Structure 1
Amino acid sequence: MVQLSPRQVHLDFHTSPAIDGIGEEFSRENFQAALKEGNLSSITVFAKCHHGQCYYPTKVGTMHPGLKFDLLGEMVDAAHEIGVKAPIYITAGWSAMDAENHPEWCGRKKDGSISASNYDFSCGPDDPKPACSWIDLCLNDGSYARHIYDITQEVCDRYEHVDGLFYDICFIREACYCDECVAGMKEMGLDPSNEEDAKKYYVIKHQDFMRKCGEILHKKHPEASIFFNSGGAEPNMPEYHDGSTHFEMEDLPTSWGGYDKMPFRAKFFERTGKSYLGMTGKFHTDWGEFGGFKPGEALKFEVASMMTYGARCSIGDQMHPSGKMDMETYRNIGYAYNYAQKIEEYSLHGRPTAKLGIYLSKNDTSNEGTAKMLLESQIDFDIVYQDHFEEFDTVILPDYVELSDGAVEKLQEFLKAGGKLLFTGESLVKDGKFQIDAGIRYEGNYGYEKDYLLIGDELGEGTVRSPFLAYSPAVKVEVEEGDVLANVMLPYFGRTYGKYCSHKNTPYNPADYDHAAAVQNGNIMYLAHKMGEIYKGYGSVYHRRYFINALRRLYGAQAFEVKMPSAGRAAMRYQAEEGRYCLSLLYASPITRGAVEVIEDMPPLYNVPVKIHVPEKITRVVTAVSGEEIPFTRDNGTVEFCVPYVQCHQMVVLETEQA
């Protein structure tokens, strides 16, 4: 298994051919000084960029017209000289020069038009160009893919030691209808007019692309890593996981979905057994931003967050066309990575202690919303991987999970053995019926776009007792066995032009509430609303508290309990060889400014209460970085203490009797 370096930079260099003097200010001394200042163990450098230019003397591609030397080779040698790895970047799905010179290489939509991202073909050369605007190229193992194979072969032959290859923009569409793909589908006996056949061909040929790139690399450099980006690290795209030696989760939280997207993805990829890293950026926004800076404290929080969930770290940067590294950038990165190095031994191995599992649905919004409710409640969780329900005490199926027949059997075995289940919305619905006997019968829906929740005493702690709005409608169920703990209250009518009330949703009908919203039948709890989807979209504290109250009626096997504000995050790992538990506590409160989530203020928390429930006897509690002893008490196997302070991140080590 490839073991990734812990502290990386991903160095972009998408540089226009209209700019001259490329790399003229590059020096080995400046490059190495930046890597040392940033405390890097690896830096991804560039062979070919989105403009289509190569940054080394090439016979296959086109060297940047403003470059007069082997910039790639100089960077690789300079990094290796100081013990830093230097995997190599090759653009795949976007290459402007190739798209212009070889229109037959372009991806095509079903109507025959060129596939593109944020690109207006009606614009002239002097019209303003929007950000991230590129034409898509076809990687379906055809003529353009063969060009990438040739680039790959050239790079592998040219450099004596290649640490790895990183291919970008690989899986951004579901199908391609270029002439080569249409002909290939027919040759394979597939129908190009059938959307499912086109998708099937796309997957098969992309898998061929990955396999062939890997064969070229590993024939010459058998220990090298390889990763295919843009869809290659998505939990719901497992068809593309085998081609990579590891996973790089490209989550730039300021602009790409926030700070809670990464944790559940990290937990998923840990389950694969391959090494994985989180990727953020040094930018205020995201890729391609020259002159944008994120504060060092924000970077420190981000890398500590990655490591909280067992991920190694990568920070994105972009080199100036001059080739000179920006030392302000690497001072910021170094500030974060100097801290990261101090907590590596407590973060990057061991196993998670969570006994609560999420079974990921095909809907990322539901997954993220469900994870967010747990994260904000400091309830640690893991991912149910390959139907291993038996590893958990309680399992959550969020909103849209449909199980295979084999998975249903395993779930039923789990429940018979005493396992507990919370499922929501349309989960476990197939062919108009629930896939398991939970004491409820599926009846479809009520016919309204929104409805209301009326919560009883059992699930009401911290919520309002008035009917409160659910922003997505409940599933209609008939209760055959079990206790109804909350009700759906319906509106007077749906909102139409012919019948409406006020600005938004129709008010509730006080007489129409006898409909089940929450049903508990033994060790099974069902919530009729799509709670993950609702919380991701609207973030009401009352929805979260309702969901957590329902969960707590089932789940009682938490390894730890922490009391922090909702912006606090907590996770714990057990390191058996060292005989210790490592509790990671994070606290920062991102705020939205314009279109960007920003972390600026880093207020401390003091005397954070913690309870630990583990089978081993705890003999010592200490902060990892400062070595401060923390007094604790023990009562019936439960260890209690207060963490004296948490500012940005605190790692607490709990040593056991066997240590």
Structure 2
Amino acid sequence: MSDKYKYTYRGYLCDHHSPDPPVVNFDKLNAEECERFLKEANIDHVMVYTKDHWGNSYYDTKVGKKHPALGERDWIAEIKPVLEKLNIEFTAYYCFEYDNYITKAHPEWSCMTKDGQKLVCGMPDNSSNAKWGMPCMSSDYRKYALEQLKEVVRNYHPDSLFIDIFGKSLCYCDTCKKRYRERFGMEMPETEEDMIRYNKDLATFLDDDSEELLDEVKAELKAIDPSLAITVNFSSHYRKSTRDKLDYMYTEPWAGNWLSGAYTRDTSGGRHPQLGPGNVSQIFNYQPDSIYELAAAEIAAQDCHVFMYSESMRRDGSLEFEEAQKIGKTYREIEKIEPYLGNRKVHADVCILQSDLSDTLKVTKSIPIRSVSRTKISGKHREALLGAMKLCDYSKISWCLVPELDLDLNKMKEFKAVIIPSVAYISEDMAKDLERYVYEGGVVLISGESGLSDADGKEREEFLLKDLMGLSLERKNDDYIQNPWSAYIQPKTSPVWKHSSETTPPINGTVLNCQLTDPSNMVLYGTFINPAVGLSDTTWVNWGSPLPGEDTGYPAITEHVVGDGKVISFCFDFFALINENFIWTKKVLTDLLLYLFKPSVFLATEYVNMAEYALYEKTAENEGQQEWIFHELSACARLTGGDTPLIPGGELQIDGADISLEKVFQVFPEKKEIAFTVDEENKYHIPLNPLRIHRVYQLIGK
């Protein structure tokens, strides 16, 4: 039984989707050169194409079409012994929803648009150079693909299987329309208005199909090899019921390597997440080594297995060894820290609620047609979630995500604060748990239209968490929605504005006009100011958004004391603002969190926009001992295009009431003990060494 996927941290795919000769001829493709490449790149995990986006297979298939440039050769049979010799994990790569060959050989298997056109990659907005055909997984192509996969597993026994372009695209073929009609009792929506209105139904239909397909794949292939580990691309963006059926997780970044790594880690359920950026390498136009090194360090520091892919194969099958050298230099650094990876749990004071369902309920555009696009494009909740991640990372207070189905009262009690970022639907059970959590001393921050929808997307007239928030909804106010800044905030005297500029900060989007329901237990942090005018063809003020007008008196940000805890309510989509560069939100959230609770871990640094960190509790080698692993990184290489000046590491501050320390060591890039002090409040002050890209510390506890 192969479990290599649990222990391999240096993965790679030579991304060589290859059309037929004469464009690609493979005259110089040979296993010996690949072996040299793999050694130079210090790789321990390789994806090998079995079928690519063109529909070409790379082995002796009796079902599909073998790449004609291979002739009598079986590339999988040639390369597998090399992988075995080097003890490299062999992952079979198979592409589902792009197959240019099969849509020409069987045009009746094609996905169809609502206009009756055959769907191709890049449609409908011509977003791709490639225009591969897209077969429908509800056609007989499904049987074709499954038969090929059974060939691969039966004949080549890969350690693991990676399915690319997995899922179900929005297809208007007769079969799909019939199945939708039978499921929902209506025709499949076609207009923009109807697609937004029935977004949840469309998403459910497509997600159900994807999960049923996964069930079938697992049943067929694990009947042949029960030990086969199976995953799909973008797995962290599928709903939890689908994620839970995967053996391990693989995702490409959607919010940069650092934040995408955290998202992948926290939605993986501990199933060995991998993160694979494809933009690190630019073959023929190489980026500096530091870009490679930072990308890998960020992924590893977020407890993901590092993976990279690039188009390193030339048209004759020979390889770009400059790429191998750059990856090798990076992966030798990753290899040094592997003893400190895995078997660890992220330490966090702040929990950010992640909701699969809410991301389908509040959308402003119709559902993307292609399954891959659907994983990358989000609704209001994921935008707010992304903003919450950015703001918490800026605060230098430890944080993580928790999926909604995992967040019960016991889980909440692990954190000092819970953030609910525009979570449209909140279950009755979660509402009760939140109430108990706050009453017993917890802190909850709620933004936007959280709790204003039922599970089907129908709008509530009142907040589900009305009593907890101490607010009653009067109306959703879009009077100035056409303005870039739809309202301003008049700050009230409060420590949350401690480091903010003395001004009236702007917001955008919907304003929630609310009334206080428990004023004696509430603190008003700010009220809404309307713009002086609404923008139109005949009304404006100056070049920018109209200036602040009159104070409405409606609460913008409130604090409600409930039992021993507090609830902070933002009557607008606070967390999403940072995605549009409303920079005032950074200092406000930092000051707010520091006011609300004493963090167990805090990174004191002047480089708040550059420094990144993560802390993990690791299973200690010695019984009775506690161990933590601390990663600190400088994002300077990414921010500057490769520059890595030495910046101060700052100071790691740890509350002795939460973590008790005996010794601290820097273990990467070299090992040495770090002296620290303890103040009269039992806070540890650990001076961190200056860094260019990445340092790792080991904290030994009592």
Q: TM-score, normalised by structure 2?
A: 0.85
Shift of 1:576: 3.5
Instruction: Specify the code of the residue in structure 1 equivalent to 2:691.
Output: V
Check 1:598–1:478 CA distance in 2 against 1; reply closer, same or farther (3 A cut).
Answer: same
- Matched AA of 1:238: K
Give the alignment of 1:118-197 within 5 angstroms.
118-119=122-123, 130-140=128-138, 142-159=139-156, 161-171=157-167, 173=169, 175-185=170-180, 190-193=185-188
In structure 2, the residue matched to 1:262 is 260
Q: Deviations over 1:297-356 (max 9, x none)?
A: 111111111111111110112233322232111111111111111112223221111121
Structure 2: distance between partners of 1:471 and 1:21: 51
Kept after mapping to 2: 8 A contact 1:76/1:86: yes
Distance 1:291 1:367 in 2: 36
Q: Which of 433, 437, 440 is 1:410 aligned to?
A: 433
Q: 1:556 to 1:266 in 2, by over 3 A?
A: farther
- Any idea what the Cα deviations from partners look like across 1:386-412, whole Å, max 9, x if unmatched? 223233221001134421122212212
Matched with 1:470 is 507
State the Cα distance separating 1:506 from its structure 2 match.
1.2
Corresponding residue SS for 1:165 = strand
Q: Please state if 1:574 is matched with 2:617.
A: yes
Q: How many Å apart are 1:148 and its aligned residue?
A: 0.5
Letter in 1 for 2:267: F
CA contact under 8 A between 2:353 and 2:421: conserved in structure 1?
A: yes
Aligned equivalents of 2:25, 2:33: Cα separation in 1: 16
Conservation of the 8 A alpha-carbon contact between 2:180 and 2:188: no
Q: CA 1:546–1:299 in 2, change beyond 3 Å: closer, same or farther? A: same
Q: Matched residues in 1 for 2:513 and 2:610: separation? A: 34
Q: Which residue of 2 aligns with 1:126?
A: none
Aligned mates of 2:487, 2:289 — CA distance in 1? 45
Mark the CA change 1:187 to 1:491 in structure 2 (over 3 Å): closer, same or farther: closer
Residues 148 and 607 (structure 1 numbering): CA distance in 2 closer, same or farther, change over 3 Å?
A: closer
Partner of 1:305: 298
Could you tell me the percent identity over the aligned residues?
Answer: 19
1:423-453, CA deviations, whole angstroms, 9 ceiling, x for partnerless residues? 1121232402111212111122332221112
Q: 1:9 aligns with which of 1, 7, 12?
A: 12
Superposition RMSD on alpha carbons, in Å? 2.5
Number of the residue aligned with 2:677: 633
SS state at 2:176 partner: helix
Q: CA deviation at 1:244?
A: 2.0
Residues 484 and 519 of structure 1 are in contact (CA less than 8 Å); yes or no, is this contact kept in structure 2?
yes
Q: Which amino acid aligns with 1:467?
A: T
- Tell me which residue corresponds to 1:514: 553
Q: Quick one: distance in 2 between partners of 1:311 and 1:37?
A: 23
1:95 Cα deviation from its structure 2 partner:
0.8
Q: Does residue 429 in structure 1 map to residue 448 in structure 2?
A: no
| 1:448 counterpart = 2:480 | yes
Aligned in 2, Cα 1:61/1:154: closer, same or farther, shift over 3 Å? same
Aligned ranges for residues 643-658 of structure 1 at < 5 Å?
643-657=688-702
Q: Going by fraction, where is helix more abundant, 1 or 2?
A: 2
SS of residue in 1 equivalent to 2:686: strand
Q: State the one-letter code of the partner of 1:155.
A: V
In structure 1, what is the equivalent of residue 647 of structure 2?
Answer: 605
Q: CA deviation at 1:8?
A: 0.5
Paired residues, what number?
Answer: 630
Indicate conservation of the 8 Å contact 1:454/1:465, yes or no: no
Q: Deviation digits for residues 133-187 of structure 1, max 9, x if unmatched?
A: 33332123x311111101101111221x3111111112363x3221222344456
Structure 1 residue runs of 5 or longer lacking an equivalent are: 124-128, 592-596
Which one of the candidate residues 552, 563, 570 is aligned to 2:594? 552
Structure 1 residue 479: deviation in Å?
A: 1.8
Higher alpha-carbon deviation: 364-373 or 386-395: 386-395
1:23 aligns with 2:63: no
Alpha-carbon offset, residue 259 of structure 1: 4.2
Of residues 80-89 and 70-79 in structure 1, the stretch that sits farther from structure 2 once superposed is 70-79
Aligned AA for 1:305? E
Structure 2 residue aligned with 1:387:
407
Q: Assess if the C-alpha contact under 8 Å between 2:417 and 2:444 holds in 1.
A: yes
Classify 1:408/1:312 alpha carbon distance in 2 versus 1 (closer, same or farther; 3 Å): same
One-letter identity of the residue aligned with 2:463: F
In 2, the alpha carbon distance for the partners of 1:584 and 1:48 equals 38
User: Which 5+ residue runs of structure 2 have no aligned equivalent?
Assistant: 190-197, 360-380, 454-459
Of 380-389 and 54-63, deviating more is 380-389
Quote how far apart the aligned CAs of 1:623 are. 0.7
Q: Are residue 55 (structure 1) and residue 58 (structure 2) matched?
A: yes
Cα shift at 1:119: 4.5
Q: Quick one: structure 1 residues 494 and 120, their matched pair in 2 at CA, closer, same or farther if it must change by over 3 Å?
A: closer
Equivalent residue for 1:585, pick from 632, 655, 658: 632
Q: Give the deviation of 1:500 after TM superposition.
A: 2.1
Q: Tell me the equivalent position of 2:375.
A: none
Of residues 493, 497, 511, the one that matches 2:533 is 493
Q: Is the 8 A contact 2:236 2:264 kept in 1?
A: no
The answer to whether the Cα contact below 8 Å between 1:190 and 1:198 also exists between their aligned partners in 2 is: no
Distance in 2, matches of 1:367 and 1:157, equals 43
**Corresponding position of 1:360:** 354
Is 1:43 equivalent to 2:80 in the alignment?
no
Greater Cα shift, 44-53 or 574-583: 574-583
2:193 match: none
Q: Quick one: which amino acid aligns to residue 462 of structure 2?
A: K
**C-alpha distance in 2 between matches for 1:387 and 1:120:** 38
1:135 and 1:455 map into 2 onto residues whose CA distance is 55
Q: Which of 333, 342, 348 in structure 2 is aligned with 1:339? A: 333
